[in-house]
Amino acid sequence: MKSHIGTFLSIGSPAVTELAAECGFDWVLIDLEHGCESEAALPNQLRALRGSNTLAIVRVSAPHPDLIARVLDWGAHGIMVPHVNTVAEARHCVDAAYYPPQGHRGVSRTVRAYGYGMRLPDGAMPKPIILAQIETAEAVANADQIAAVEGIDALFIGPADLSFDLKAQQSPHSYDDCVNSIVKAAKDHGKGCGILVRHADDKEKLKALGFTWIAMDSDLSLVREGFKRNLAAARAW
C-alpha cells in the first residue's frame, strides 16, 4: 500500500498551506478541531492548494453532517474525524460524507468542488477519503470493527489523546500494544493506518509497522521550534 507523507496545518494561513504544497507534501491536514482558523476561512486554504498534487484533508471539529458536507462541497478531498470510538460513529461519518445510496449527503452541482457548476462529475460521483481517528481505549477495543466499515479508508492514531485516555482510564494495555492492535486491525481489512509523528527518528519503527498515512509534525510546532532555536542562537552571540 502506498505511503502518504503529510503534515498538520494549525496556523490557518493560506500562505503556509500553499508553501506546504510547494514543498511537495502528498497531503495536508487542515485542522478545524484544534487549529486557529475558522470554518468560514477554509475555502481560501483550499484555494491555496489549487493546481498542486497535494491532497486536502480537513479535520472537522465533530462529525456533524452539515459540516462534513460543506467541507467536501468546498473542495476538500477528504475528512479526518476525531474520536471515532464505535462502529455506529464510523458509519455515521460515512453516511454524512457519501452520496446515496451509500450515504445521505445532499447533492449540489454548483458548489466549489464542481467548479460552481462548470466541472460537473462525469459518471459516478467522487468518493471522499475518510480517516477515522482512534484516540481512546474504547476505540482501540473496537478498532477491528471500525476498520471493517465500508467507506473508512484508514485508521489514524492520535498519540496525545490515546496516551492521555489510557492513563485516565487506567487501562491495563500499554500504548505500544494499542498501536500494534490498531495497525493489525487496519491491515486485516485492507485499510490504511496513520499517525502524527513529532520526531523524525521514529520513522523507521513506524515504517516497519506498516503505517501508510504519516503526518510529519505541524506548522505551528515547526515555527515554534524555529523561533526557539534562532532565539537561543542569537542570545549566545
Query: Exposure string (b/e) for 110-141, b if CB count within 10 Å is 16 or more?
Result: ebebbeeeeeeeeeeeeebbbbbbbbbbebbb
Amino acid identity for residue 72 in this structure: L
Query: Does the active-site annotation cover 34?
Result: yes
Collapsed DSSP state (helix, strand, coil) of residue 98: coil
The angle that helices 175-188 and 159-168 make with each other, rounded to 10 degrees, is 120
Cell of 86: 464505535
Comparing CA positions, the residue from 19, 132, 34, 33 lying closest to residue 81 is 132
Distance separating alpha carbons of residues 219 and 51, to the nearest angstrom: 21
| Cβ neighbourhood burial of 190 (10 Å; 0-12, 13-18, 19+) | exposed
DSSP state of 58: E
Tell me: cis bond preceding 43? Omega within 30 of 0 counts. Answer: no
Q: Which of 34, 64, 83, 92 is catalytic?
A: 34
Helices of type H across 142-202: 143-147, 159-168, 175-188
Cell of 46: 483550499
Comparing CA positions, the residue from 73, 61, 69 lying closest to residue 116 is 73
Active site residues: 34
